[in-house]
Chain A
């Protein structure tokens, strides 16, 4: 094997699982991220909050390379995400993502949605995948909905299938991009409960959310972004009680 291991440094669990350093990202001439840094340890739950247009979603889309970056670095388990030589598929096997609009595959049933990636991408045996998929569907409390098509499920149910679908790839990090923003208030709760259980199981989670009460309850760290920079961050109690920056205070004042 040639020594192409420049980016493949040995990563140990006491180092950040996701490390973002001075990331800059522009769409055309508009700079969305103006030097963002954060370190996330394994098992941590991070909530990113902030006004719309502050670059929250762009940031987490950069983490699994759905968006590229212009400067800085993002590493996952020591691997540089935006390395041109990196196998993006290998990276994405480690990082699961759940979207605001669920984006389930409409021509497949709930069970098939969950099974598809492990079967086709990881090429795992069907019996094993199906067994795991059924367990996951049970875990997100959708037993009995295995053979329903996405069009037959409510928004909250679809979103939980989407979470199960991501989990089926057995990722090390989960990204949640405003996953409750498109839901009815009564179904928000069931999705948040699923995420909370996931966090309790020790999954590393990065969430962009507008659910402040939920963020406060579940997060280890809260990051507040505004206009492409991280204004401040801290543990939830400190953050919500003693925010120091006037921009944070103003935002919290509007929302709480």
Chain B
């Protein structure tokens, strides 16, 4: 008798449970997966905004373009450049601190492990803005080293504040990568008389370096997008300057969308290639192992 495999049955079928591990590259995937019409849609909204405002308050398109062109150099060189500088230093400090915190999470010493765990939990799960406020308000505006006073600029304090959550998240990346190396590697190295520290730095970490890069870059993009938070604390950067520029131009509502839309666009242009590159690296490393 012919047997159809397509026939529906009411026999119970045990399906494999679908477990999805948390995605370390979620942000990059979201950014790269943005549909092509997203940017034009934003642009149209920006154009429509003035129409929605009061007729007499509306600036003409020419006037808006004039204003934008006037402020553009300042917004880029004094504004967005500052966001990039903040993001670089944040990533630098966050990575160095995160590496050691991550090593602390797998330390042989129980006390070090517990303290590292607590630190990671604390800074990973705290609101970034709260951390920023605490750091801004508690760090002195100058540090005395010997007899000289070294001023700590506001943006430096912002860097410290942003470094804390980045550090905690990098620590988790490091810990995960270390634990993903098979324990047989440890045994082989032990049997060759390597010390624990040598095994970690010369055998384990070099092996997981590659797998740490994509999630690390993902965090760089997330953190860069979060740098405008520091404008709430008065640090000069793109959004702070945009607000000041609008104020100087009479706070006309028809300037809101052009200015903030421009900020959105700049961040997108900066982070989109990073996200693309992150996913490219990820698939390359996934193939080569």
Contact = CB atoms under 8 A, between A and B. Distances in A.
B140 to A, nearest CB: 44
Given A105-B203, A151-B289, A92 B191 contact: yes
A78 B188 CA distance: 24
A236 interface: no
Interface of A: 64, 66, 89-90, 92-93, 95-97, 99, 101, 103-107, 116-117, 120-121, 151, 162, 165-166, 169
A120 B187 contact: no
Given A66-B187, A101-B184, A106 B207 contact: yes
B89 interface: no
Contacts, number: 57
A96 B191 contact: yes
Contacts of A116: 192, 202
Nearest to A106: B207
Interface in B5-19: none
A27 B206 CA distance: 32
Given A66-B190, A105-B189, A106-B289, 4 more contacts: A92-B191, A162-B188, A166-B192, A169-B193
A121 B194 contact: yes
Nearest to A90: B193
B193 A103 contact: no
B198 interface: yes
Nearest to A66: B187
Contacts of A169: 192-193
Contacts of B203: 105
B187 A103 contact: yes
A105 B191 contact: no
Interface residues on B, range: 10 to 19
A66 B289 contact: no
A111 B141 CA distance: 55
B184 A103 contact: yes
B109 interface: no
A62 to B, nearest CB: 13
Nearest to A151: B289
A32 B206 CA distance: 36
B207 A92 contact: no
A151 B289 CA distance: 10
Cβ-closest 9 pairs across A and B: A103-B188, A97-B191, A92-B193, A117-B192, A103-B184, A89-B193, A93-B193, A121-B193, A107-B207
B283 interface: no
A105 B207 contact: yes
Contacts of B56: none
A121 B189 CA distance: 10
5 contacts: A66-B190, A92-B190, A104-B188, A117-B194, A121-B194
Contacts of A90: 193
Contacts of A99: 184, 187-188, 191
B190 A103 contact: no
B4 interface: no
B241 to A, nearest CB: 46
B60 interface: no
Given A105-B207, A106-B207, A66 B202 contact: no
A120 B194 CA distance: 8
B185 interface: yes
A90 B193 CA distance: 7
A103 B192 CA distance: 12
B187 A89 contact: no
Contacts of B189: 105
A60 B195 CA distance: 21
Chain B CB within 10 A, most for which of A99, A107, A166: A107
A64 B202 contact: no
B103 to A, nearest CB: 19
B54 to A, nearest CB: 65
Contacts of A95: 191
Contacts of A121: 192-194, 198
Nearest to B210: A107
Contacts of B195: 89
A66 B193 contact: no
A147 to B, nearest CB: 17
B191 A66 contact: yes
A38 B8 CA distance: 66
A45 B173 CA distance: 46
Interface string B185-222: 10111111111001000110011000000000000000
A162 B193 CA distance: 15
Nearest to B209: A107
Contacts of B194: 89, 117, 120-121
Chain B CB within 10 A, most for which of A89, A104, A151, A162: A89
Nearest to A118: B192
Nearest to B194: A121
Contacts of B198: 120-121
A101 B192 CA distance: 16
Contacts of A66: 187, 190-191
B92 to A, nearest CB: 25
